[in-house]
Amino acid sequence: MQVFIQTVVNGLTTGCLYALIALGYTMVYGVLKLLNFAHGDVYAVGAYIGYVVLQIFGGSTALTIPVPLLLVFMFVAAAGGCGFLGVAMERFAYRPLRNAPRIAPLITALGISFVLENTILLLFGGFTRSYNTNAYISSSNGINIGDLHIDTVQILIFVLTAVMCLGLKLTVDRTTLGKSMRAVASDREAAEMLGIDVDRTIALTFFIGSALAGVAGVMTGLAINQITNTMGFLAGLKAFTAAVVGGIGSIPGAMIGGIFIGLCESFSASYISSQYSDLIVFGILIATMLIRPQGIFGQRPLQKV
Amino acid sequence: MKGRIIIAAMTLAAIFVAGCGSSSSSTTASSSTTASSGTSNTKCTASIAIEGPFTGPVAQVGLEQLHFAQLAVANDNAADHTNVTLAQDDTQLTPSIATTKTQAIIASPAVAVVGPSGSQEVEAVGPLLARAGLAAVSGSATLPALASSGANKTFFRVVPDDDVQGPQDANYVVNHLKPKAVLIVDDDEAYSQGITKVMIPILTKAGIKVDHQTYNGTDTGATLSSALSSLVTAHLTPNVTVAILPWQAAANAQQFGLDAQQQHKKVILFGTDGTNSPSQFHIPGTYISTFGPDISSSTNPMDKAIVAGVAKYGPYGAFGVPTYAATDVVMKAIASVCKAGQTPSRSNVLAAIKTTNIPAAANVLGEPIAFTATGNLAGSPGYLFHVNSAGKYIEIPPK
């Protein structure tokens, strides 16, 4: 039972990360019908921005500011940096191709992915960089119930993910920006005719999605300590799977899909073998496409006659 | 029109960034040539290549190897009045990339190769090198089959293979750590699976219950987090007091140890040579076996000069020491060819490497270097370190 509960905790931790990345995929798909395959690398950029902030404030063993303040700076810098990166990507790479055949922005997204990956390589070198989280956040702190342990970083991930998902849901449901996003997602041309600034709405969508990925990058650095320039590739694919399973274009779908994929991965690693976790995750993707292509929360497109 | 200009500018920027990434950084270069630092003006000119992971999750140890190779080329060029240049080929420890790089090396004028680093890479490219008559001397590929299979006829190594290291490690666990049950996790690569295969029968024969698991050593980020924490959760049961991690990514072993600490699992970690990286893997109480000595605090003048010299290229790391010896073998072979009045070629350098006979006093590893007919090192011990409470590696003297 203890193993089961700890596996759930591990799965939720990973699932939260996938959920945050998946939100970016699903939001961008919602407004542009674009699979932004560079999104995983935006997540990696976020991890590196967090690392840079850590170094600016003295590094893991000689911090010059209190840890809570450091975390705030890391998350804000990563969210802001990645948000603006997302806006720049949209402005200079995707917007000029908005009316091009759909394969063009897709290939561009792959190209941007490689550019981001190699830019990190150029700036930070090829070897693993370490957050060395244990030096400033004790792993023994947290919640202990018997052998079950939920450490401070995991609690931080759960709370922050919940807050951001809730905030995003409220933004989409109850604000003018959210209404604009839904209108653009529903029918871009009609939204434009109604006076909605489509370019601005799409740019803000990229900003929010990329900011969430940046926060997930910092969370990963804190949770796993090590970051590499290639870390975004597989995480991006898993998050994409999560978005598809949840129903691409659906925000609750991305959240639930992320958690579901995280739990699947964790349970397969604990009870079968981590060797097979990728097989299981991508098997789920194929099964979803065959059985329910619109995903858990997705809706079948209306047949107009 | 304006849009097209922006796209064109973006494309140019992308090409510029990609170009920078592959030309200005020594760590990402493909067959980029490092100018020799020898002062020679003789006609003994040749080029060699080093194949190793200079980027990616195990770049830390690959760069250590590169820096020691660069130092060896510079030192031997100066000592033997040769003019040898070293090309760098980043394999990322991936067989498919190593294959591409090896094909480029075969097409180049290189007369010998230092490396490849990983056993899985040698498995992939050994036959190619053999067909090209190109000698490859590795300072870290330890899978026994690389020499015994007969497929890699031009492969040599300056380190003992897993048939030496595996039993030493397993016997140490049996005789000194005396666990009732162990967890042994391979990273799904040839090196890791090879050493696991050697260790398990010895542990089982001693009556130890062995839980053998596999994880994907190339995982990163959230996926890696999930894999490691699940291994700790599900397989570090109270009976398991030793976890053997024959991995090639030291940072992953460190994370496994941290996860164990976080989940309050009391376990002694036992890493093998791929995890030999004091800066990345330093959980107190850990044992780490390796194929080369740590010369960082040696009082031997040659060792001191090498430790001081490598600082010019990058930080010292014990994993790179055998690669100095491997490069030295190649450089000495080229020098001997020149001394015999010949121009270095693949065939005469290969022949010279086969007859290598470097005495212990002239070898940074402290052991004589000579090769068996299959390219194995003729008789050499493994080394074992214990990580003390301050995270420092302390060598355990052989008994």
Residue B142 belongs to a domain: yes
Is B233 in Cβ contact with A127 (below 8 Å)?
Answer: no
Element (H, E) at A123: helix A103-124
The reply to whether B233 and B142 lie within a common domain is no
In B39-68, the residues whose Cβ lies within 8 Å of chain A are: 54-57, 59-60, 63
- Give the ipTM: 0.77
Query: Which of B270, B290, B310 corresponds to the end of one domain?
Result: B290
The answer to whether B25 touches B65, Cβ cutoff 8 Å, is no
Query: CB atoms < 10 A from the CB of A225, how many?
Result: 23
Whether B230 sits inside 8 A of A144 (CB atoms) is no
Q: What is the mean pLDDT of residues A1-28?
A: 91
Q: Do B226 and A231 touch (CB under 8 A)?
A: no
Residue B397 lies in a domain: no
The predicted structure's pLDDT at residue A208: 96
Residues 6+ apart with CB under 8 A from B66: B26, B27, B50, B52, B54, B88, B313, B314, B320, B323
pLDDT at residue number B18: 43
Res. A143 pLDDT band, cuts 50 70 90 = confident
Q: Which residues of B touch A225 (CB under 8 A)?
A: 251, 254-255, 258
Residues 42-71 of A with CB under 8 A from B: 43-44, 47
Q: Give yes or no: residues B322 and B352 share one domain.
A: yes
pLDDT along chain B (399 residues), means of 10: 48 44 38 46 84 85 93 96 95 90 95 93 94 95 88 93 88 94 91 90 96 87 86 90 92 91 90 86 92 85 93 88 96 96 96 94 89 86 88 81
Do residues B243 and B356 both lie within one domain? Answer: no
* Amino acid letter, B256: F
Contact call for residues A295 and A244 (beta carbons, < 8 A): yes
Q: What was the pLDDT predicted at A304?
A: 56
Whether B253 has its CB under 8 Å from any CB of chain A: the answer is no
Q: Which helix (H) or strand (E) holds A149?
A: strand A148-151
Do residues A238 and A18 make contact, with C-beta atoms less than 8 angstroms apart?
yes
Same domain? B146 vs B182: no
Tally of domains in chain B? 2
- Please tell me the distance from the alpha carbon of residue B22 to that of residue B57, in angstroms, as a whole number: 18
Do residues B194 and B276 both lie within one domain?
Answer: yes
Please answer whether residues B210 and B184 qualify as being in contact, where contact means their C-beta atoms are separated by less than 8 angstroms. yes
Closest CA to B181 of B237, B256, B240: B240
Q: Provide, as residue numbers in chain A, all residues whose Cβ is less than 8 Å from the Cβ of B264.
A: 144, 147, 149
- Same-domain pairing of B155 and B174: no
One domain for residues B202 and B246: yes
For CA atoms A188, A190, A191, A197, give the dihedral sign.
Answer: positive
* Helix axis angle, B221-235 to A277-291, nearest 10°: 110
**Measured between CB atoms, does B8 come within 8 Å of chain A?**
no
Pairwise CA distance, residues A138 & B135, whole Å: 50
Question: Cα(B144)–Cα(B194) distance, rounded to whole angstroms?
Answer: 8
Rounded to whole angstroms, how far apart are CA atoms A304 and A301?
9
Q: CB contacts < 8 Å between A and B, how many?
A: 177
pLDDT per residue as tens digits for the range A210-222? 999 999 999 999 9
Q: Which residue has the tokens 């010292």?
A: B316
Query: Quick one: which of B264, B261, B269, B216 has its CA closest to A133?
Result: B261
Interface subset of A 263-292, CB within 8 angstroms of B: 265-266, 269-271, 273-275, 277-278
β-strands B155-157, B287-290 pairing = unpaired
Joined together, the tokens standing for residue B258 give 């941290």
Whether residue A96 and residue B231 make contact (CB cut-off 8 A), yes or no, is: no
Within 8 A of B230 by CB-CB distance, chain A residues are 7, 10, 266, 269-270, 274
pLDDT of residue B365: 87
Per-residue b/e over A95-123, b at no fewer than 16 CB within 10 Å? bbbbeeeeeebeebbebbbbbbbbbbbbe
Residue B209 lies in a domain: yes
Contact of B349 with B131, CB cutoff 8 Å:
no
Number of C-beta neighbours around residue A18 at 10 A: 31
What is the residue whose two structure tokens read 């899978």? B143
Q: Are residues B87 and B153 in the same domain?
A: yes
**In B, which residues are within 8 Å of A93 by CB distance?**
10
Nearest-angstrom CA–CA distance, A217 and A49: 9
Using CA coordinates, name the residue in chain B closest to A239. B222
Higher pLDDT, A139 or B38: A139
Residue B238 located in a structural domain = yes
State the pLDDT at residue A246: 92
Q: Are B319 and B290 in contact (CB under 8 A)?
A: yes
How far is A265 from A231, CA to CA, in rounded Å? 17
> Is residue B385 one of the residues assigned to a domain?
no
pLDDT in tens, A53-94: 999 999 998 999 999 999 999 999 999 999 999 999 999 999
Q: Which domain holds residue B286?
A: 163-290
| Cα pseudo-dihedral B48, B53, B59, B60, rounded to 10 | -50
The yes-or-no verdict on residue A9 having pLDDT over 50 is yes
A149 to chain B, closest Cα gap in Å: 6
End-to-end CA distance of chain A: 54
**How far is it, in rounded angstroms, from Cα B189 to Cα B195?**
10
Does B11 reside within a domain? no
CB contact under 8 Å between B255 and A225, yes or no, is yes
Residue B139, domain member (yes or no)? yes
Given this model, what pLDDT does residue A91 score? 95
| Pairing mode, strands B268-271 and B287-290 | parallel
Q: State residue A6's pLDDT score.
A: 87
Q: Are residues B111 and B37 in the same domain?
A: yes
8 A C-beta contact, residue B266 and residue B243: no
- Residues sharing a CB contact under 8 Å with residue A154, sequence separation 6 or more, in sequence order: A9, A13, A142, A223
Asked if residue B156 and residue B33 are part of one domain, the reply reads: yes
CA–CA gap between residue B161 and residue B144 (Å, rounded):
6
For residues B83 and B36, the answer to whether their CB atoms sit within 8 Å is yes
Task: Let me know if domain A2-291 sits in CATH 1.10.3470.
Answer: yes
Q: What is the DSSP letter of A297?
A: S
Contact yes or no for B260/A302 (Cβ under 8 A): no
Last residue of a domain, one of B290, B323, B351: B290
- The alpha carbon of residue A268 is apart from the nearest alpha carbon of chain B, in Å, by 9
CA distance B63 to chain A (A): 9
Q: What amino acid is encoded at A164 in this protein? A: M
DSSP A132: -
> Domain check: are B225 and B78 in the same one?
no
Last residue in a domain, options B238, B265, B290: B290
pLDDT given at position A116: 96
Do you find a cis peptide bond into B116, omega within 30 degrees of 0? yes
Please identify among residues 108-167 of chain A the ones whose CB lies closer than 8 Å to any CB of chain B: 111, 114-115, 118-119, 121-122, 125-128, 130, 134, 139-140, 144, 147, 149, 151
Q: CA B189, CA B180: separation in Å to the nearest integer?
A: 27
AA letter at B346: R
Provide the token pair at A10.
């591990």
CB atoms within 10 A of CB A19: 29
For residues B365 and B388, give the distance between their C-alpha atoms in angstroms, rounded to a whole number: 23
CATH number for position B198: 3.40.50.2300
Between strands B287-290 and B383-387, the pairing is antiparallel
Computed from CA positions of residues B167, B173, B179, B184, in that sequence, does the dihedral angle turn out positive or negative?
negative
**Does residue B303 share a domain with residue B155?**
yes
Asked if B3 reaches chain A (Cβ–Cβ under 8 Å), the answer is yes
Determine contact, residues A5/A194, Cβ cutoff 8 Å.
no
Looking at the complex, report in whole angstroms how far the Cα of residue A217 sits from the nearest Cα belonging to chain B. 9
- The answer to whether residue B234 is domain-embedded is yes
Closest-CA distance, A6 to chain B, in angstroms, reads: 7
- Which 3-state string (H, E, C) describes chain B? CHHHHHHHHHHHHHHHHHHHHHHCCCCCCEEEEECCCCCCCCCCEEEEEEEECCCCCCHHHHHHHHHHHHHHHHHHHHHHCCEEEEEEEECCCCHHHHHHHHHHHHHCCCCEEECCCCHHHHHHHHHHHHHHCCEEEECCCCCCHHHHCCCCCCEEECCCCHHHHHHHHHHHHHHHHCCCEEEEEECCCHHHHHHHHHHHHHHHHCCCEEEEEECCCCCCHHHHHHHHHHHHHHHCCCCEEEEEECCCCHHHHHHHHHHHHHCCCCCEEEECHHHCCCCCCCCCCCEEEECCCCCCCCCCHHHHHHHHHHCCCCCCCHHHHHHHHHHHHHHHHHHHHHHCCCCCCHHHHHHHHHCCCECHHHCCCCCCECECCCCCECCCCCEEEEECCCCCEEEECCC
Residue B104 class from Cβ within 10 Å (0-12 exposed, 13-18 middle, 19+ buried)?
Answer: middle
| Residue B325 and residue B308 in contact, taking contact as beta carbons nearer than 8 Å | no
pLDDT tens by residue, A178-210: 999 999 998 888 999 999 999 999 999 999 999
Where are the domains positioned within chain A? 2-291
